[in-house]
Amino acid sequence: MTPITKAFRWVELVVLFIGLPVVFYFNKLKLPKSIPLLVVFLIALLYLLASKSFSKKTFGFNGFSCWKTFGLRILISLLVISLLSFIFLPREQLFYLPLQNTKLWMLIMIFYPIWSAFTQEVIYRGFYFHRYLSLFKTEYHAIIINGILFGLLHIIFRNWIAVIGATIIGMVWASSYIKHRSILMVSVEHAIVGNYLFTIGLGYYFYVPDF
């Protein structure tokens, strides 16, 4: 990669992964948040599909077989979420959606895995590592920055719980993706954790109406 190409690649990364979340944080674009997410997702998806150096098997499980580790990682994530929820959430907020707004909860359970989890994993894991990994000295540095950028995406929710939580779990999912190269695997994990967040009540910090 030439210095000029590398410089343009850095600018591109900054615009997409820092610029867009910051613009939405300051409410400069009077658009539903789902529109730029969908646009970036389609760009990332088409780029990966067109790239000859990107294995299309990555969209599937790609030979993933570490199901015990996968299950243990999810179990730990759910236990941590449960502990934090019971410590910090008001009692009336626990399981609020399934108990008080069942229709919205069911819609989230159905659409979150595809509309949010899969789209974000294509962008933040598949696209990010395929296009920008070469900018970093090591995979470790790329994983750390990936987690930070994933956390930055969540500034649109305007609370530190969403940002810090997304940063930490983003690093976990980035590490899993680097190890197994499976978008579907991290998407399933993302979907399970995300749906549980909204079920137990902690999803309150990860949601604002999309208008």
Say how many Å lie between the first and final Cα of the chain, rounded. Answer: 41
Return the domain boundaries, the chain: 3-50+66-206
Confidence at residue 29, expressed as pLDDT on a 0 to 100 scale: 65
Instruction: Give the Å distances, CA to CA, from 148 to 82, 129, 162, 169.
Output: 23, 14, 12, 10
Model pTM? 0.92
DSSP designation for 93: G
Alpha-carbon gap, residue 20 to 207, rounded angstroms: 18
Contact 134, 126 (CB under 8 A): no
Q: How far is residue 135's CA from residue 31's CA, in Å, rounded to a whole number?
A: 32
Give the mean pLDDT per block of 10 residues along the chain (211 residues): 92 96 80 83 97 94 82 94 91 93 96 95 98 97 98 93 95 95 96 97 79 39
